[in-house]
Each structure stands twice: as C-alpha cells, then as structure tokens.
Amino acid sequence: MMADRFANNLGNAILNQDDPKMVKDGAPAFLILIDSLVIESPDNLSILKASATLNGAYATAFVDDPERAAHLSDKSFAHGRRAICQDFPNICDHDKGPQEAFLAALQDVDDVELLFVFGSAWAGWIQTHSRDWNAVANLSKVEAIMARIIALDEAYEWGRAHLYMGVIKSQLPPALGGKPEVGRSHFEKAIELSQGKDLVAKVEFARHYARLMFDQALHDELLNDVISTQTSEVGLALSNALAQQQAKALMATSQEYFED
C-alpha cells in the first residue's frame, strides 16, 4: 500500500509542476526510483501505471536523442501492456495479431484507466519508432483503444481520447484519403470536454489540423489563445506549461509556414 501511494503521489507531483525545466532536470532520478519499485513489485498495477505514464511523458516531452526516447518509450509500452494484461489477458493474446481479433478482445475491457495508460503508452512508442513502418502499422489499434475509451467515458482525462483521435485523423489531407474534418470534430470535442483548460488540445489542433489544411487564421487564433491563457488546473500544470512553450514556437514559424 505504501508503494502504491508513493507511485501515485510521485506521478501527481510531477504532472502538477509548472516548471518544465525543473521536471526535465529532476525527473530522471525519480524514473530510476520507479524502476527500482518495478523490480521489487513487478506486478503492482499502481507502480506499472506510474512507470508507463512517467517514462512515456518524459520520452516524448523532454528527450531529443531518438535512441534514448525510443528506449524510454519501450519501457513505457512494456509496463503499460503488463498492467492491462494482468486483468485482461485476452488483450495480450491479440495485440500482435489481426485487427479483427484485437477489436473483439477490446470489447471485454471496461477499465478506462488501464485502457488509457496502455493506449497512450503505445501511441508514444509509435511516435518514437516512426521510422519503422511495422510500428506505424499499429496505429489502427491505438485508434481502436481510443474509440473504446470514448464509448466508455469520453470525458476521461479531459477528453484526451478525442485528442488522440484528432491527431490520428489529421495525418493526411483529403486528397490522399485522410479524414481531417473528422479529426477537427475530435479536437473540438476534446476542447469542449476540458472546458478549454487542457491547452495541449488547442496546440495539437493547430499543429495537425490547421497546418494540414493551411488555415492560418485558425492556427494563429488557437495558439494565441494558448499563449494568453492563465491556468493552474490540477493535473494539467506541466502539460499546459509545455503547451505554451510549443505554442510560442509554432507561432514563431507561422508566417514562414503559411507563406510557403
């Protein structure tokens, strides 16, 4: 119980920091500590979920070296997978197989938290292995996980399942078979469900949809809104601080991007 409480409190403490540099500098020591807890209690769900979440977040937010990011996301995915497959072993029987069998296995999973930890860790793993087409081919399974979360509780984690769906659906323009308007509806739903408090949704809306569709007015409106927002929402401090940094970087290249 003490290990469970420590893992949960550690994750919450990091996610509630609004100083990204402090987290970047200090988190590695805590990731090593989480590793030691996993070694001691390899089947503890709270520790596995904390490890999956923190390793994945650190890999995608702070690590520039592709090899290091891939290594951390490997750990994130492995621990997220181990967590969900303790209660729902049928998932691990089919996650490497045909889509139809995986979809059928998903229908038996009703734990939204485990689904989100697993799905977001898998999405991060795909992101850090994007040069591997075998990894990218798993994106449809991540999409299926997010669709299952939406069916069970679309408001979970500020509607971030919709955010993931928005990114997935905004990868290709309509001319190449993409469905960016479906992506837009997911981004808008994520913003609605978080009441605009999750600034990441607006940044990714601008980055993926507005840039794809060459809509500078929408792009700049979203990013300026993020930059000007004052927020201290519990659980979103770190991600919102990072979102504001990213919004400023995207705005700095707006004119150049849309003039090309």
8 Å CB contact between 247 and 203: yes
Q: What is the DSSP letter of 111?
A: -
Q: What is the Cα–Cα distance from 108 to 203, expressed in whole angstroms?
A: 34
* Pairwise CA distance, residues 47 & 4, whole Å: 6
pLDDT score for 8: 77
pLDDT profile of the chain (260 residues), mean per 10: 74 86 91 92 92 94 95 97 95 94 96 97 96 92 98 98 97 90 98 96 98 97 96 88 97 93
pTM of the model as a whole? 0.94
Measured torsion, CA atoms of residues 84, 89, 93, 97, in degrees rounded to the nearest 10: -30
Tell me, what's the pLDDT at 17?
A: 87
Q: Which residue, chain included where needed, has tokens 């969900």? A: 84
Residue 1: its pLDDT value, please? Answer: 64
Confidence at residue 106, expressed as pLDDT on a 0 to 100 scale: 96
Among 83, 86, 105, residue whose Cα is nearest residue 38: 83
In the structure encoding, which two tokens stand for residue 157, read together?
């984690």
Give the single-character DSSP code of 121: H
pLDDT at position 48, please? 95
Domains of the chain: 1-146 (1.25.40.920), 154-260 (1.25.40.920)
Angle (CA) 134-120-238 rounded to 5° is 135
**DSSP3 helix / strand / coil % (the chain, rounded to 5):** 80, 0, 20
Separation between Cα atoms, residue 58 and residue 5, nearest integer Å: 21
Compute how many other C-beta atoms are within 10 angstroms of the C-beta atom of residue 140: 12
